């Protein structure tokens, strides 16, 4: 069964950077559409960034210009580079993989931005 494992979360001061990584256990990783979502306490899960199998990217309005999503099909990973972090970026970040009717989530990794 497809598994997604996130890493790279932690605590950082406002203005700092973090890089999240998601490793996917699939021999056909390259045809999955991938995304990063986040959920803060009391809020709904929201899209942070996505990257299609063809490399097209999409970003949530609140992170445009600060976050960058990328994928490495050879390593079966999708990364999220987060710069100029803000307190409001604090949330659990989830990796997501979609292919046809398949929709899989990782276990999530906590990102805390605090002074």
Angstrom CA distances, 9 to 13, 20, 27, 65, 114, stand at 13, 6, 26, 20, 13
Task: Check residue 2 and give its pLDDT.
Answer: 87
Tens digits of per-residue pLDDT, 9-67?
999 999 999 999 999 998 899 999 999 999 999 999 999 999 999 999 999 999 999 99
Residue 4 has pLDDT above 90, yes or no: yes
Residue 109 has pLDDT above 90, yes or no: yes
Task: Check residue 27 and give its pLDDT.
Answer: 87
Residue 84 has pLDDT above 90, yes or no: yes
Task: Check residue 45 and give its pLDDT.
Answer: 97
Task: Check residue 1 and give its pLDDT.
Answer: 79
Please count the residues of the chain.
115
Angstrom CA distances, 19 to 10, 12, 91, 100, 102, stand at 10, 11, 14, 28, 26
| Helix, strand, coil shares, percent, the chain, to 5 | 5, 50, 45
């Amino acid at each position: 069964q497809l598994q997604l494992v996130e890493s790279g979360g932690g605590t950082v001061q406002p203005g700092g950077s973090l890089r999240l990584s998601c490793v996917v256990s699939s021999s056909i990783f390259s045809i999955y559409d991938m995304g990063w979502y986040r959920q803060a306490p009391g809020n709904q899960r929201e899209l942070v960034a996505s990257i299609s199998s063809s490399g097209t990217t999409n970003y949530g309005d609140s992170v445009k210009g600060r976050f960058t999503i990328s994928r490495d099909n050879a390593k079966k990973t999708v990364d999220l580079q987060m710069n100029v972090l803000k307190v409001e970026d604090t949330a659990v970040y989830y990796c997501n993989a979609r292919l046809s009717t398949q929709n899989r989530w990782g276990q999530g990794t906590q990102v805390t931005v605090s002074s």
